[in-house]
Amino acid sequence: MAMGKLDKKIILLKVGTATLTRGTNNISRGKIEDIARQILELKDQYHFIIVCSGAIAAAKQFIQLEKFGDEINQKQALAAIGQPHLMRLIQETFRELNLHVAQCLLSYHDFNNEQSKENTFNTLNILLKNGVVPIINENDTVATDEIKFGDNDKLSALTAILMEVDLLILATNTYGMYDEQKKTIQEVKNIESVKKYIQQQHSAQGTGGMHSKLEAAALAQNRQIETWLVNGHEENFMLKALKNESAFTKIN
Ligand code: GLU
């Protein structure tokens, strides 16, 4: 897959539905703008890839579907409806800051097929070289893995590995992982050793998702990619983490 090295480091940012909606029922233009402004500020130093969910949430803002089929099929249909709305919101917001975006829909299956992997690598590489920010979501029409579990956490790790990114940032709604005193664990080397805190965090914060984030981080760690768990609800969450002005968990 040799295609000429990129001139800048790559950050892969994963934003889930909870971050993008700020915990409400609507996609937050403000949060999209916050992300775009941070990318604008950092774009001379880094290339960015965003793995972004929120298609189902976007659809629910516009339509209520009649119930046919099971719950997962229903979600797939909503994702198909919501994806173009989600991209429209992202594209409009990024364009105002002179940033170009592209849409790439992927599934786990694509990472098991050499040809698909190569095609994906080449496409993303050309986008990055042209200063375009790829916005990736699961292709929910053909795959249901991330709708069932994970909200794109694993997809982001697989993409990070494929693109050999320098840093994987998983936005979440806490300041990383907390210990039993509710203090952020700043650095994790042994992922197994912090799994005991997940359940606690789940009940204390009323949020899920830490389990799949740790699984994603473990995949990345196996390939020497560092993962940061940062609080995506905070303004400038990436800038603050990069300047060490905000608490977050580094998994390396
Ligand atoms: N791909 C789905 C979306 O964009 C994932 C949502 C989820 O798992 O909550 O809506």
Instruction: Note the pLDDT tens digit of each residue in 169-210.
Output: 999 999 999 999 999 999 999 999 999 888 655 444 333 489
| Rg of the chain in Å (alpha carbons) | 17
28 and 93 in contact (C-beta within 8 Å)?
A: no
Residue nearest to atom 2 of ligand 1 (CA): 53
Question: Degrees (nearest 5) of the Cα angle 114, 128, 93?
Answer: 120
Which pLDDT score is estimated for 201? 54
Which pLDDT score is estimated for 205? 34
Which pLDDT score is estimated for 203? 43
* Residues contacting 55, CB < 8 A, separation 6+: 78, 79, 80, 81, 82, 83, 85, 86, 137, 140
Residues of the chain with pLDDT under 70: 1-4, 199-208
Cα(244) to ligand 1 centroid in Å equals: 30
Which pLDDT score is estimated for 67? 87
Which pLDDT score is estimated for 208? 42
Cα(39) to ligand 1 centroid in Å equals: 23
Judged by DSSP in three states, 21 sits in coil
How many Å apart are CA 90 and CA 47, to the nearest integer?
A: 17
Cα(245) to ligand 1 centroid in Å equals: 30
13 and 153 in contact (C-beta within 8 Å)?
A: no
CA of 57, closest atom in ligand 1: 10
Cα(45) to ligand 1 centroid in Å equals: 30
**If you count DSSP H runs as helices and E runs as strands, how many of each does the chain have, helices first?**
11, 8
Buried b (16+ CB within 10 A) or exposed e, 227-248: bbbbbbbbebbbbbbbeeebbb
Which pLDDT score is estimated for 206? 35
Q: Beta 249-251 vs 187-188: how paired, if at all?
A: parallel
Ligand 1 shell residues, CB under 6 Å: 17, 53-56, 79, 137-138, 140, 146-147, 151
Please name the residue ranges forming H helices in 113-235.
Answer: 114-129, 145-148, 153-162, 191-194, 196-205, 210-222
Does domain 9-251 sit in CATH 3.40.1160.10? yes
Cα(116) to ligand 1 centroid in Å equals: 22
